[in-house]
Amino acid sequence: MKNVAVIGAGTMGNGIAHTFAQFDYKVQLIDVSQAALDRGLATIEKNLDRMLAKERITEEEKAKTLDNITTYTSLEEGVEYASLVVEAATENLDLKLKIFRDLDKFCPEDTILASNTSSISITEIAAATSRPEMVIGMHFMNPVPIMKLVEIIKGYNTSNETYSTVEEISKKLNKVPVEVNDYPGFVANRILMPMINEAIETLYNGVAGVNEIDTVMKLGMAHPMGPLQLADFIGLDVCLSILKVMYDGFKNPKYAPCPLLVNMVMAGKLGVKSGEGFYDYTESRKAETIAKMFR
């Protein structure tokens, strides 16, 4: 199984493509536009250059990794020979269902279909295909080339054979696979997102400022990054989507997104990707005034 298609050239998609290619898989990186693919490839090259500067890889290994990646704007052409597809599109159920219906049509009948979804039901995604036993969750952590964890989520009908294959592939990528049951948010985000949401509530209620909240969690809880800074790196829109999935799935008010988070996303303050979130990435200034803007 050396031929892998990755759908989506964004933060997660290009990281997944980078990782497979670095371990000598032939990768077909697919997105809707060549511009998105070019940005993804530029990010991969930049990350490889960082690894090269730290002497973690050689020039030859960098060149080989890039040579292992081919880009496509056509889903049908990109998945034609794939043994494994990893979908890393936007965290939107309707979009994912459409992608998996198309994958079911275009992929060989023995292709495993994996989703990098961070919260959406694998069982529901699998139901859009005629091969639910070959659909699985493969949730990588960001940044993918560095983080060891892969949550592997079995849907209701996922076969043991499919699970074993994906588990073995994860190990070949030098990752640590962890089996997780198919419930909203799985494990990582079921624990992480309520913490981030509570940090936003703490800011919203005026208990402390952005820097103060993050400093407490870094120095008091030994977190490498504060929850508000982490939310910026994840993307506030992604955080909101995951919280909505969990709130809809469990109907428990503890998962209800903070109004400040909702308003920031509506205002386009999405974190690093937009240049501003809880921190100002355009001028390296703290954006603590955001809390007051939307009260």
Residue 12 labeled ligand binder: yes
Residue 96 labeled ligand binder: yes
Place of tokens 């639910």: 132
Task: Report whether 4 contacts 86 (CB < 8 A).
Answer: yes
Strand segments (E) across 116-253: 135-140, 149-154, 176-181
Q: Among this protein's residues, is 223 annotated catalytic?
A: no
Q: Among this protein's residues, is 118 annotated catalytic?
A: yes
Shortest CA distance to 64 belongs to which of 85, 78, 44, 37? 44
Q: Which of 151, 167, 276, 288 is catalytic?
A: 151
Residue 161 labeled ligand binder: no
Q: Which of 115, 118, 197, 274 is catalytic?
A: 118
Residue 8 labeled ligand binder: yes
Residue 142 labeled ligand binder: yes
Shortest CA distance to 286 belongs to which of 221, 198, 208, 220? 208
Q: Among this protein's residues, is 139 annotated catalytic?
A: yes
Q: Which of 189, 197, 241, 274 is catalytic?
A: 189
Q: Which of 139, 274, 276, 288 is catalytic?
A: 139
Task: Report whether 264 contacts 236 (CB < 8 A).
Answer: yes
Residue 273 labeled ligand binder: yes
Residue 201 labeled ligand binder: no
Whole-angstrom Cα Rg for the chain: 19
Number of helical (H) and strand (E) elements in the chain, helices listed first: 14, 10
Residue 68 labeled ligand binder: no
Q: Among this protein's residues, is 151 annotated catalytic?
A: yes
Residues with a catalytic annotation lie at: 118, 139, 151, 189
Binding residue positions = 8-13, 31, 91, 96, 118, 142, 273
Binding residue positions for NAD(+) = 8-13, 31, 91, 96, 118, 142, 273
